[in-house]
Amino acid sequence: MAVLASVSAALVATAGPALASDTSFSVTVKHSNGTIVSTMSGNVVWYNRSAALTNIKQYIRGGECSYAAISSYSVLGVVDYRNTAKRCPSSNTTYSLNNILLNGNNEDSDGDGQPGPLLEAITDIDIELLDVNDDRHAFQVLRR
């Protein structure tokens, strides 16, 4: 019994801190002189296999064009992707975007009538914000 207690104590003592999932994002693309072209920010909600970007705001400087390319990944590769609309306001504008749901892989991958293993859940989301006029971009990776 003393050996079991020692092993349990050692396991507790060596356990690392729990890693926290990302809960928000903010991406800014700039000109080479530092002028902000566009900023996108919001929250991320992680579900069992999927994720959603919520409360999304996008600022675009007047006379610029911008959009975001959003990809989600599991340990097996790309799971889902979305692009936001390309917007080109004539004056500085902040847009409120609809929530973006990124679906996890819920397919029956082995024919047993059940969704695939949790291994196929979304683990990462890549948000790339693009400056269409000057071919510049900014990038953020969100992790579960």
Query: In the chain, which ranges are continuous DSSP H helix?
Result: 2-14
Whether 86 is in a domain gets the answer yes
d(CA 52, CA 103): 8
Question: Looking at the domain assignment, is residue 9 inside a domain?
Answer: no
Number of domains observed in the structure of the chain: 1
Query: How far is Cα 70 from Cα 72, in angstroms, rounded to an integer?
Result: 7
pLDDT of residue 11: 42
Give the pLDDT confidence of 28-42 residue by residue, as tens digits. Answer: 999 999 999 999 999
**Domain for residue 33, yes or no?**
yes
Asked if residue 4 belongs to a domain, the reply is no
Task: Give residue 4's pLDDT.
Answer: 47
> Is 31 within 8 Å of 138 (Cβ atoms)?
no
SS3 call for 32: coil
Range of the domain at 43: 22-143
Residue 31, domain CATH: 2.60.40
Q: What is the pLDDT of residues 56-102, one digit of tens each?
A: 999 999 999 999 999 999 888 888 889 999 999 999 999 999 999 99
